[in-house]
Chains A and B, each alone.
Chain A
Amino acid sequence: MVTIQINGKLVQAEKGEMLIAVIRRQRIDIPALCHHDAVEPCGSCRLCMVEITKKDWDGWSKFVTSCLYPVEPDLIVSTHSPRVVELRKTILDLYLARSPKSEIIQRMAAEYGITQTSYQEVPDGDNCIMCYACTRVCEELGCNAISAVQRGHKKIIAPPLGEPPVDCVGCLSCANICPTHFIEWNDDNGKRTIWGKQFELVSCKICGKKTITRDFAEYLVRKRNIPANYFEICDDCKRTELTKSMGKIVIAAQEISK
């Protein structure tokens, strides 16, 4: 354990854990868009930046992304110093110029007093804020079906060659993790469509309800050592079946004890 100082308060932290976790444990509200506990940090949104210094740095300080900065002994952290707040305002201002319609951006910017961007709105700006959450979760699952392509201001998240991605299993992890709900998908008539690829949905053998995609079921069976027939019945029906068999056991046990 090491002791660090956050906004003037002494705090205990695990050595090597990322600063953002320690800050949030202190219930300090620090914004972040690309940070998610399920995936490796990447430091692209820059909102969680804090100012750090140490006693022996002779008054020198630096700005670091707290999601990527491992805790060190004697660190002095300011999460809301004037420069940090100014930086966050500029970043949110820039986000607002790029994604003016995004609700989460609007809300975060408003918290920092920005309701209208100071810059020119980006022509055809969309709600993708290039936080890489989708690509990281896809990588985490081992699919790597999508990635960031092109560069700079033209960068987009897309499947290889812009074609329906061969490696996508339709698990929706990317859509669910997206902080701005930008990734579109739909389930219709037993089919799921995402990234321009269509998937067949598995029906429950008992109630007929659509559950996950066949590709995802097969993927899990193959990679996660799950029994082949596991996805034939939906979770609800599994529970019902379990209750029924539990009941039978209870009755049988009662008979024996008589």
Chain B
Amino acid sequence: MRIESAKHLQQLQGEYSADLNRFPQKVLVCCGPGCLANGSEKIFNEFKKILSAKKIQGITVEALKKTGCHGFCAQGPLVVIEPQGIFYTRVQVKSVAEIIEKTLAGKEVIPRLLYVSPENGRKIENYKEIPFYSNQMRISLRNVGKIDPENIRDYIALGGYQALAKALTTMQPQQVIDEVNKSGIRGRGGAGFPTGRKWDTCRKAESDIRYVICNGDEGDPGAFMDRCIMEGDPHSILEGMIICAYAIGSTSGYIYVREEYPLAVINLQKAVEAAREYSLLGENILDSKLDFDIKINRGGGAFVCGESSALMKSVAGDVGEPRAKYIRSVIKGLHDKPTVLNNVETLATIPVIMNNGSDAFASIGTKKSAGTKAFSLAGKIKNTGLIEVPMGTTLRKIIFDIGGGIPNKRQFKAVQTGGPSGGCLPESKLDLPVDFDTLTEAGSMMGSGGMIIMDDRTCMVDVAKYFLNFLVYESCGKCVPCREGLYQLYTLCNNITEGNGKEGDLELMENLSQNIQIGSLCGLGQSGPNPFLSTLMYFREEYETHIREKKCPAGVCRSLITYEITDDCTGCLACIKVCPVSAITGQKKKKHFLNQQICDRCGSCYDVCQFNAIIIK
């Protein structure tokens, strides 16, 4: 199938969308990373088996869709029945026949599988009424969870590639750039550089060849926004890239995606092949004389390869080490040619800007940070998952209204934004509107959008240590401040958690941090001390307690705590069973005894005790 022109595309959209809507109902099975891990593939196969065998109420197996991430990972595996929007949670293989029989054939909702509101215990039928969804605004994730990512016809049916057609047929390249500029979109990868300005500089750079690269090397622990777009809606990225190619005058593009995202690699590959088949990649795209093709480049898993210059070296086949960017990569990037490097989310948003116009996009969000931003919620939060909200939404709304707050009746302590190089913000910063500038002012950063929520059983020194350890491991080792400096910062932090902190350590660490920030070669080192600096800024007394009193207030640092069994012990044997080092002895219905010499302080007994009879001292 070759799409000859914009008109032909329009005609196909009509055909495909009619084809898609010929069934009275549709079954969407979430096959995002969270649901897949919970066995949604088996659920999909069960649906497929039953629907292939017989036709039910005019529904055949073609009305069954394997979609990308629906976002509400905490409730997975998810199955959605459209057009009613019936939202089934924690679906098991054995429930599939029941869903087909009752809901698809009998139009009857199964209450057992519905989402239960934690506030009033009400069962909510339509997902649009669940606060997790109703408080969101989805732009970059617009199709994720709604279409079959492996099928280009689904994307075209929902208006896919129309933005490209509009740009190619009605706009000059400079107009495209102006439109992007006016929309106010800033790079979603973390730094927040205005996308339009980047494109403009690249277009004006003198060269015979220019490149477009999509940065899909999402490496922050707990972040999976880009992954879900690449897996769930790969064509939106391709469309964004082709529009960019037209705007800057490029004929060749790359998608750099980490090898650890196998499904993303497969779906992107399939999308590229389909786009080539439909002549949306290749020569003379939509009869506009634009030639452009995309190659998929798999990254080996180095965190630093998400940094632009290291990424370009990796694409070129060299060791992924950053270079000094006194000459920016839009002037001298891949193979020393002008290169636009955009994040997955940025590129997936471009078609919406083209379709709806820059004003519509600029009206969303805040003045300096337009549009929406996807976040992944992880850690100690009820509604773990993937969300998208307008810029300027407060952290409180994200964490409590959408995220549902902290589980197990614990208290909120901090939220880590911006990945390892970001920072931790305390309760007092919860009413901050989330955008690029306010988060940076507060000592953290937007980063790519990972949010890790921590409760009161989290030790902030331990958190800083965790992230510093990550950065020490992921530092490329090219420049001294990052390689040796972060290592020493980690060592000092580790000493504090082990009870070996000294007076003066914090001052030494602060001085070292400042010099790592100004002395490092790339962004990894320059933002590397952030986990330490931001936790120190808001939780200094916790560091001081570790150093002076040799105590861990949160009860986490193993060297500084002891577990004790109180008289509340009922002698239920539960702790004895879970203790991995057999430190607890005792008989049934008699108070147990904990041998401190053997105890490894893992906390398993504390977690399992139903009677609060184990305390941390």
Contact = CB atoms under 8 A, between A and B. Distances in A.
Contacts of B475: 151-153
B317 to A, nearest CB: 13
A129 B480 CA distance: 8
Contact of A68 (B319, B326, B488, B515): B326
Q: Is the interface of B mostly helix, strand, loop or mixed?
A: helix
A65 B485 contact: no
Contacts of A150: 477
A150 B302 CA distance: 11
Interface residues of B, number: 33
A44 B520 CA distance: 9
Nearest to B490: A153
Nearest to B515: A90
B25 to A, nearest CB: 52
Contacts of A152: 472-477, 483, 487
Contacts of B485: 90, 94
B616 to A, nearest CB: 29
B519 interface: yes
Given A43-B521, A46-B521, A49-B519, A91 B480 contact: yes
Contacts of B491: 119-120
Contact of B511 (A43, A90, A97): A90
A98 interface: yes
Interface in B293-348: 302, 304, 319, 321, 323-324, 326-327
B488 A97 contact: yes
A150 B487 CA distance: 15
B472 A87 contact: no
B519 A63 contact: yes
B479 interface: yes
A153 B519 contact: no
A126 B178 CA distance: 55
A120 to B, nearest CB: 5
Residue with the greatest number of chain B CB neighbours at <10 A, chosen from A43, A132, A151: A151
A233 B492 CA distance: 59
Given A118-B508, A152-B472, A153-B475, A64 B519 contact: no
A185 interface: no
Nearest to A47: B480
B476 to A, nearest CB: 5
Interface string A51-75: 0000000000001110011100000
B548 interface: no
Contacts of A129: 480
Going nearest first, the 4 A-B pairs with the smallest beta carbon separation are A155-B477, A90-B515, A94-B484, A152-B475
Given A45-B480, A130-B483, 13 more contacts: A43-B323, A44-B521, A45-B479, A46-B480, A65-B521, A69-B326, A83-B518, A91-B480, A91-B481, A120-B488, A148-B319, A153-B487, A155-B476
14 contacts: A42-B478, A63-B518, A65-B324, A68-B324, A68-B326, A83-B518, A119-B508, A130-B480, A151-B302, A152-B476, A153-B487, A154-B477, A155-B476, A155-B477
